[in-house]
Structure 1
Amino acid sequence: MTGAAKRAIVAGLRWSSLRLRLVVVFAVVALTAAVSASGIAYWLNREAVLSRTQNSTIDDFRAQLQSRAASLPLHAGQPDLRRTAEQMSQGKAGYSVLLVAGSDAGPPLVGASDPGVFAYEDVPERLREQVNKRQTTSGSTTQYHLYWQRIVHEGKPYLVGGSRIANGGPTGYMLKSLESESKDLNTLAWSLGIATALALVGSALLAQAAATTVLKPVRRLGDAARRLGEGKLDTRLQVSGSDELAELARTFNKTAESLEKKVADMSAREESSRRFVADMSHELRTPLTALTAVAEVLEDEVDTLDPMIAPAVNLVVSETKRLGGLVENLMEISRFDAGRVKVVLDEVDVADQVTACIDARAWLDAVELDAERGIMARLDPRRLDVVLANLIGNALKHGGSPVRVSVRTVDPESGAEVADGTGAQLVIKIRDHGPGIPEDVLPHVFDRFYKASASRPRSEGSGLGLSIAVENAHIHGGTITAANSPDGDGAVFVLRLPRDASEATGAAPERTGGTGTGEDGGR
């Protein structure tokens, strides 16, 4: 048996399997019905068989008592009693007879048709008392009644009965074996048991067939839903029939069609938005370049300008720089959205890269670096610089000095710090000593254009820096997480990158696209 077949059998036997539950429910219902029907049939047949035998035997015994025992003399001897008992037992009913007469000289006289089978001691004491009890009920036409009961003697069933002849006559008892009736009833019980077992097997087969009929379209529906979830929006089900499952398939097809249309509309709008942002950013670059050149000239001449004009010039210069950064960020975001971002990997010393990032932005006095030289990684140096610039710049802007940057290599399985090795993961932590990040802001710190305070819509940052950092981390196969320090002193951003990003990036031999600016926080 193949591994796939074994897995299918195991899956079919799980209680969570609808097939197994259908089979079990069918089996329980069939077993309950079969056992109930068999029990009722057995009880009715048992009562019918025993009542028929009992009534015929009792009637015959009563008639024999009236015709033979009642004709015995008042003081009949034991030979007369035995002879009469033998005559009574020779009927077609086939029972043993015991006649008992009182004796003034000693113990009662007993005449038995089969002394070895039925003796006076075999008569139940309770039955003797009932038989010898004189009836005192007013309106009764007889002094003594005929009583009977079923007993089990030496493992065999019997019917025993008795009555007394009025006016001093003998007392008669009879013993009828019910062994043949018991055998017939046992045979009936076995037959009903076999019928119940066959009904159980039949119900299991019927449940299997029903489960196959019901589960086949359900399985097709599940497969179609899985394909739809995988993005195959053109998935449709073949509909046949007019039952509930067919209606469910029609509903699925309508839902899939509506979803496909909405996704297509959304994709078209999203693509249009991306093109608009990319085109707008591209078109803005030319006039922005001219504005930047003019702003640089004005910045150089600001000391010579009229003091009333200088503040306006400074505002124009700062806003032009901010606009330039925003345009570069928008172009970078549009490239990420379009999937046209490429990376150029190089073997770099991570400590040197962090130092160069801090030095290039004159942050040496505000940043503490804890990194050993010699930790090598295959990454895109330019994009790593963008990530570090955004994370450190965000910490300096919204946190508090000093900002501490640490570089470690850890085991990706356990998270424990390990010595430098090829299988280790690169972890860079950036911690500030500010007020931390509010709990309601933490889930959104990497969202585009998100700012922690709505009252600061014109803050220096555009709200794109951290989202650009995350995108650059993702294309390296890494992640960035944000949290507050356990001691409540500042926020901690953790950048995790593989030591070799070749598999995650499919690195290109050349660069394309813009630079993507740094120092643009989102808090």
Structure 2
Amino acid sequence: MPVRRTLRVVRRYWRVFLRRLRVFLAPARRQWRRSLQLRVVAITLVASSLLVGAFGWLVAYRSADILLDRAQDEVLSQGRNKRAVAQEQLSVHVSAVDATLSRTLNETINLLADGDPSASSGAVVSIQSSHFATIRPVISANLDTAELITPEMVQEVGGNSAEATQIRTARVDGVETKFLVYGTPVPTNFGHLELYYLVPLTTEDQAANEIRATVLATGAALVLLLGVVAALVTRMVVTPVRVAARTAQRLSAGLLDQRMKVSGEDDLALLAASFNQMAANLQRQIVRLEEMSRLQRRFTSDVSHELRTPLTTVRMAADLIFSEREEFDPAVARSAELLQAELDRFESLLTDLLEISRFDAGFAALDAEHADVTPIVERVAEGLAGLAERVGVTVELRLPESPVIAEIDPRRVERVLRNLVGNAVEHAEGRPVLVTVASDDAAVAITVRDHGVGLKPGEERLVFNRFWRADPSRARQTGGTGLGLSISVEDARLHGGWLEAWGAPGEGSQFRLTLPVRAGDRLVAAPLPLIPRDRELPPSEPAEVTR
């Protein structure tokens, strides 16, 4: 148990550490994602550091090897010369117990040391014997050679009578010094002795250190230079891109006269010129489309207004004929009824066109007041009761018991609900239509559910387009203008609300109107789901459509 508790504590502190580390590194990560120049410079610095570091290590390593090989060749040459001199000096003795042998060894060591150009730099010569106990080691300097002349080397030189070299380190006057030790046998009349030539590698080490320092300084300067060059080159490329991005943002904000500065004849200048040409073409196209849209809106508004006067005259004549239709023969009476119905349809179309033109011109205003939504829903249901009875559809209301008060424009909300419930009744295929109202502290939602033919995938977005119909050949009972849902979605937006649709083939459809309780508030969620609760959602289908 204590081990598990300790592991839990460790894991908890580790998670806390990782969380704080992510928070601490968040600004750097954000800057890394946003700055192309930073990424290019950082990658250049890392790559060049690795490359220069590997090259510098190779140069320093090879330089040290070359210096060491040169010192070793020189030591071998001098060591063999010293062996020849020692052999000549010792050739006068025929026995290891000769009384003058010790003096000859000292004279030989002095001769070898005096004739050594490296002696001033600390080179040491030693003659000793591993075969004759009477011969004591003779050294040209006061140096403890126990750490430098190892037993393995003594065995190689004295036992095997072979040359040997090695690099050893010893403390001389309190300083760690590296020596190149060369050992060779010296043949004499009474056997052979061992000559050891010890040369300090201080000069070579200093030269190698200087080479490393030079390579390091040069590499660091080269890396910094590469970083500066990368920053300058990247700046030359990134700056026009940033200017293009800012210009594109201004263009998207509606400032169509924004252009990039063109300087030079290189690729970046070509990019700026192409961008400016594209912006000019877009400006011309947008201005042309805006002019066409303005002319279209003006034409629609003018035609709608101009048709009011002749329509009123025709309406008066048609009303007179319709009121006297019983005195006509059946064919003329039927024509009078058709004339009256088409005039009603034409008048409804003109009314919708005028409303659409007001939305397009930006003249639509919200006359908001605190009102109860429930009576509005009931009035819509009562107004469409006749149509529902003719097509054999039942309109069911699910209303809360308490009033649903919201700051709305009752006329516009009633028009939206009339369009939604009318369409649901028309497409219900004789099945019930369910209208549900719910609210919370921030929003009011009204759903209209039918169980008709439904909508195909993608049609939930097209259904709000002007003059769009799911089935143009479908016989319609109400003779709608095709503008009802377009006006409804504009009314919802004017409230700051949502009007959304859901549908599936053979499963019917559902429309949801969501309005804020207080005018001007921003909606976050709806009290009712867009997808009906009586329909099981497949795993791959999204929960809501784009508003």
Shorter-chain TM-score bucket reads: 0.7 to 0.9
Q: Distance in 2 between matches of 1:431 and 1:205?
A: 67
**Superposed, which structure 2 residues align to 1:63-462 within 5 Å?**
63-73=81-91, 75=94, 77=96, 79=102, 80-90=104-114, 91-94=116-119, 95-100=123-128, 103=131, 109=135, 111-113=137-139, 114=141, 116-118=143-145, 122-123=149-150, 125=152, 128-129=155-156, 146-152=163-169, 156-165=177-186, 169-362=192-385, 366-371=394-399, 372=401, 374-399=403-428, 400-411=430-441, 424-456=442-474, 460-462=479-481
1:382-436 per-residue CA deviation (whole Å, 9 max, x = no partner) reads: 211211110110111112543222222125xxxxxxxxxxxx2121111223343
Higher relative contact order (CA 8 A, sep 6+): 1
Deviation at 1:497, TM superposition (A): 1.0
**Higher mean Cα deviation, 86-95 or 150-159?**
150-159
Residues 11-62 of structure 1 show CA distances to partners (whole Å, capped at 9, x for unaligned) of 8843441121132133224423542443244234323433343333322222
CA separation in 2, counterparts of 1:120 and 1:262?
92
Shift of 1:477: 0.9
Q: Confirm or deny: 8 A CA contact 2:112 2:125 kept in the other structure.
A: yes
- Does the aligned pair in 1 maintain the 2:368–2:408 contact within 8 Å? yes
CA distance in 2, matches of 1:246, 1:19: 20
Paired residue secondary structure (2:307)? helix
Conserved in 1, the CA contact under 8 Å of 2:86 and 2:186? no
Shift of 1:443: 2.3
| Identical-pair percentage | 31
The alpha carbon displacement at 1:165 in A equals 4.5
Instruction: Report the AA paired with residue 93 of structure 1.
Output: S
Residues 245-268 of structure 1 deviation map (CA, whole Å, 9 limit, x = unaligned): 222211111110010001111111
Question: Larger deviation: 109-118 or 353-362?
Answer: 109-118
Q: Distance in 1 between matches of 2:265 and 2:345?
A: 64
Distance 1:120 1:329, change over 3 A: closer
Following the alignment from structure 1 to structure 2, what is the Cα–Cα distance between the partners of residues 76 and 233? 112
- Larger mean Cα displacement after TM superposition, 150-159 or 466-475: 150-159
> Residue 264 of structure 2: SS of its match in structure 1?
coil
C-alpha separation between the residues in 2 aligned to 1:126 and 1:310? 136
Following superposition, the deviation at residue 156 of structure 1 comes to 4.2
Which amino acid is the alignment partner of residue 339 of structure 1? G
1:471 CA displacement? 0.8
Q: Classify 1:45/1:503 alpha carbon distance in 2 versus 1 (closer, same or farther; 3 Å).
A: closer
Unaligned runs of at least 5 residues, structure 1? 1-8, 135-143, 412-423, 505-523
Given that residues 132 and 164 in structure 1 are in contact (C-alpha distance below 8 angstroms), is that contact kept between their aligned partners in structure 2? no
> In angstroms, what is the RMSD of aligned CA positions?
3.5
Q: CA deviation at 1:503?
A: 7.5
Structure 1 residues 122, 326: CA separation in 2 closer, same or farther (over 3 Å shift)? same
Unaligned runs of 5+ in 2: 1-26, 523-547
C-alpha separation between the residues in 2 aligned to 1:17 and 1:47? 45
* Paired residue type of 2:383: A
Q: Residue 417 of structure 1 aligns with which residue?
A: none
Deviation of 1:160 after TM superposition, in Å, equals 1.7
Contact persistence 2:45–2:223 (CA under 8 A): yes
Which residue in 1 is equivalent to 2:512?
494
TM-score for the superposition, normalised by structure 1? 0.79
Rounded Cα–Cα distance in structure 2 between residues aligned with 1:256 and 1:431: 47
Distance 1:70 1:361, change over 3 A: same
- Give the deviation of 1:226 after TM superposition: 0.8
